[in-house]
Structure 1
């Protein structure tokens, strides 16, 4: 059940991360929180299977922090790809 706390924290911080990062209009509002939550769930589960207990601070730091770090990198990548694609489309249309 403690995984829910990690997932709620990752999702909430993912929402904050979405609003802190530039070019929000180029991506959906749920993309960054969804990525942060999914990665946090995967890291938490893997670390639990590895024998790390819920009381270990590194479980929480790795799952929540890792989820946010991966979400930030993927969000930057998505935004850059979208900007590049939009620029190419504008050139093709002559705008």
Structure 2
């Protein structure tokens, strides 16, 4: 049941990353929070399968550090890719 706490932590970190990175209208509202949730879940699962119990700080730290390390760069990359693609489309259509 503690994995639910890790999933919620990942989602919250993903939401924070979504709102802190500029041009959030270029990304889906759920993409980065879901990425945070999935990354926290995978980190928790990997450590649990490796035999590291919840009585140690490692699963809890991984539920915070891994989504933070994944969500912010992913949000920045998605924004950069989308803005570049939009600029190419505008140029190709003769709009901008």
TM-score by length of 1: 0.92
| Runs of 5+ unmatched residues, structure 1 | none
- Please identify runs of 4+ aligned residues in structure 1 that moved more than 3 A: none
Q: For residues 36-51 of structure 1, what are the structure 2 equivalents within 5 Å?
A: 36-51=36-51
The residue aligned with 1:8 is: 8
TM-score by length of 2: 0.91
2:68, 2:36 → 1: CA distance? 5
Q: Deviations over 1:19-77 (max 9, x none)?
A: 11111110011111000000110110000011111021121111221022112122111
2:44, 2:37 → 1: CA distance? 10
2:9, 2:16 → 1: CA distance? 11
Q: How many residues align?
A: 95
| Runs of 5+ unmatched residues, structure 2 | none
Residue 25 (1) aligns with residue 29 (2): no
CA contact (8 A) 2:9 2:40 kept: no
Q: CA RMSD in A?
A: 1.1
